[in-house]
Amino acid sequence: RRENKRRAERVDGAEPRNKLPIPASSLPTDPALYSGPFPFYRRPSELGCFSLDAQRQYHGDAQALRYYSPPPTNDQGPNFDLRDGYPDRYQPRDEEVQERLDHLLRWLLDHRGKLEGGPGWLAGAIVTWRGHLTKLLTTPYEQQEGWQLAASRFQGTLYLSEVETPAARAQRLARPPLLRELMYMGYKFEQYMCADKPGSSPDPSGEVNTNVAFCSVLRSRLGSHRLLFSGEVDCTDPRAASTQPPACYVELKTSKEMHRPGHWRSFYRHKLLKWWAQSFLLGVPNVVAGFRNPEGFVCSLKTFPTMEMFEYVRVRVQGCSPFAQNTVVQDDPRLVHLFSWEPGSPVTVSKHRDAPYAFLPMWYVEAVTR
């Protein structure tokens, strides 16, 4: 029924076709801050969604969507114990499983015949995860972690799928216990803030299972690049001014409590940029942060409107650089151009055929070729 309601909403309301430029008033005026103007980014519109269940199985509906349910504001404020349930009520996703674009391709297979703009639209698009676009967009600011992106062109469409770098893999396998707990705490916060049904209350007594995910699928355009991408959405606000996704979505984050101006400066410079890019790309209007104290309790919340964050982050963009579009010319699902980047270095590219880099699954290639 939820799925029907969502579909009805999309049919009733006119699709938001209006453009969403960065408000000129919120741009810092010093031109030296930018290497170029921010490219046009079309307001993203939702094409559909899918869910992954507790066993990480795909469902072509909104069953995993949760409802924003913050604590009443007349209270003394929240007192969320983010460490509660760790590790006994925690089912973390198996990170050894490389899903690549599989779930998104499953969605695309079911919907490619019904895309607005017809089959020609998809042939000129980039298909990827939102998280990969976030990394591209924030590359000029990233000082710690490099990335690798595998790119294949197939029937015109450019598919981009992240490859875990050897350094990232080593870090993941050696992840310190405190960091594991910190990751849990981020998910625990979601459990305190979300209800399973509109109007009901959160139930923090259950398990935290990070296999469960609700993903929105959207189209947009960055500069001249058509985009079809998917991103995981934390919850929808039943009381949002607009009931139309993605304008009703809310992104939840946790961060350390801040006590000195230096904390805020560092927060703006490093964290807010990533928060902004992630939510901006998907069209999520608000990010709600829970600030945790050293004991792991969230005692205060703050809402950051995505469009206002832009005032604090200074965005230069090379993320729209056409490197992949111009380099990956040959149309071949078994051919991969691997783009690699490390902080302080330029992007490099190497060519590979088949395993281990080819990522378009046989079931997808065959179904689309047929």
Q: Which residues form the interface with ligand 0WD (CB under 6 A)?
A: 93, 98-99, 129-131, 134, 162, 164, 186, 210, 213, 215, 231-232, 253, 278
Whether 215 contacts 52, CB under 8 Å? yes
Among residues 105 and 284, whose Cβ is nearest to Ca ion?
284
CB of 286 to Ca ion, least distance (A): 12
| Among Ca ion, ligand 0WD, none, residue 112 binds (CB under 5-8 Å by kind) | none
Q: Which of 252, 272, 313, 320 binds Ca ion (CB under 5 A)?
A: 252
What does 213 interact with, of ligand 0WD, Ca ion, none (CB < 5 to 8 A by kind)? ligand 0WD
Residues 227-246 close enough to bind Ca ion by CB under 5 A: 234
**Segment contacting Ca ion (CB under 5 A): 6-14, 207-215, 249-257, 358-366?**
249-257
Distance separating alpha carbons of residues 98 and 254, to the nearest angstrom:
26
Smallest gap from Cβ 118 to ligand 0WD, in A, equals 26
Q: How far is the CB of 252 from Ca ion (least distance, A)?
A: 5
**Strands ordered across the beta sheet of 58-59:** 58-59, 45-52, 213-222, 225-232, 125-129, 157-163, 147-154, 335-341, 348-353
As a whole number of angstroms, the distance between CA 258 and CA 265 comes to 10
301 touching Ca ion, by CB under 5 A = no
Binding partner at 266 among ligand 0WD, Ca ion, none, C-beta below 5 to 8 Å by kind: none
Give which of Ca ion, ligand 0WD, none residue 212 binds (C-beta under 5 to 8 Å, depending on kind).
none
The contacts of residue 334 (CB under 8 Å, 6+ apart) are: 152, 353, 354, 358, 360
Looking at beta carbons only, is 193 or 320 nearer to ligand 0WD? 193
Structure tokens at 269: 């410079």
For ligand 0WD, give the closer residue by CB, 19 or 169. Answer: 169
- Give the shortest CB-13-to-ligand 0WD separation in angstroms: 24
Binding mask 187-226 for Ca ion (x = CB under 5 A): ----------------------------------------
Residue 124 C-beta: closest distance to ligand 0WD, Å: 21
Q: Which does 131 bind (CB under 5 to 8 A by kind): Ca ion, ligand 0WD, none?
A: ligand 0WD
Residue 254: closest CA among 318, 207, 304: 304
Residue nearest to ligand 0WD (CB): 131
Contact 62, 46 (CB under 8 A): no
What CA–CA distances, in Å, run from 106 to 87, 122, 326, 365? 32, 15, 27, 11
Signed CA dihedral, 159, 160, 161, 163: sign only: positive
Q: What separation in angstroms does the CA of 2 have from each of 115, 188, 270, 316?
A: 21, 25, 37, 40
What secondary structure does DSSP assign to 66-97, as a single string?
A: -EE-PPPTTSS---EETTTTTTTTEE---TTS
Give min distance, CB of 187 to Ca ion, in A.
8
User: Could you tell me the smallest distance in angstroms from the CB atom of residue 226 to ligand 0WD?
Assistant: 18
Amino acid, single-letter form, for residue 174:
A
CA of 339: how far to CAs of 146, 147, 155, 228, 354, in Å?
Answer: 11, 8, 21, 20, 16
- CA dist list (Å): 122 to 114, 157, 273: 11, 6, 30
- Between 234 and 237, CB nearer to Ca ion: 234
Binding residues (CB under 5 A) for Ca ion: these are 234, 252
